[in-house]
Structure 1
């Protein structure tokens, strides 16, 4: 028989090695092949069922390794999900802070007529490239109101805003009416009143205000008058009174 580089009379059968007894079996080409590691009295083939006599219990290394790999995989997956959530939350907080910074910042505009005693208006002058109109929300005395977004120059943040487009403000009467309307809104600073963010001069004057995503209270009351509780109506009345 051939056992590695050596020729032997028979394959090792219980020969003491570094890790214990060595058992081998001859294959069809008379090569000595190792028995299964759990064989204790020799074997007829390489599998556990080919062992002669009793066998050692199956090694627990493989299940333990699988368990460690599963736990490690779960830990890695949870870590990745946690990092993604933290990154997403950080970006959301950063976006809110940026929006608050842009919404609170403005320039103080003086009344057009020095004789007027109107309050200063905290607003900004927008560029037409910063504003994008998306859809029409309604129309009023001076023009049409659009839902839009404001993308400040040099930034990628998109701030939802309401854009009132004045159709014709070239006439003297229309100009003063629009100016009075702008000064009236811009001089007010109250948590229950929509704040004027600024104006965008051009062929069509655009007044930019905060966007009310839930729409008009009046429309909501008309559509849901039967389901609105008296307590909620009273709360709204208190807010209007303030």
Structure 2
């Protein structure tokens, strides 16, 4: 199971939000590249980078920073404003290995299908939900889509992997919504990355126990606040801790 330390970029700085709220921001580092180096030094094998400005604006605003992070040599999974084939090409050229689509999963299914056809398993469906309903536009807008309903549509579009975020848990350090992940594992064959609420090593172990379809976990605030050690989390991702 891949452990993805999260690097969320807002106004050029590394931040964490609570439940996706832009009025609940904590700044952890003024230099995202420096933060990436720190996670790599602690054993990161992948990095999950989000352009929060891009998620709001509708196109990446920090791609230069992302390119510098990708140049460090550890593969990068990146999302935030990826809403056209032109942008995907720019992001791929910047060295990003996996590209996360969010809003377009609902608003532009034909684009999602085209992206999956061209980039295959490098496309990740970033499904974000609050109270079981999918949210879009940087989590600011709700939809009538239920999570499982959307996932079934994504399978038909050719999506090969998914990252699921429980918005109510994100940044709150209150534990993981295991029920949601168990349900997804039982309803789809798409490999899943979990996000939101991971706080302790036991959370990582419990996600690992769901089996190989749970292929990754994104961890943010717990690493920045020190309630979870990255090296130990990586070992737990291999079933060794």
Could you tell me the TM-score, scaled by structure 1's length? 0.19
Structure of greater relative contact order (alpha carbons < 8 Å, 6+ residues apart): 2
Could you tell me the TM-score, scaled by structure 2's length? 0.19
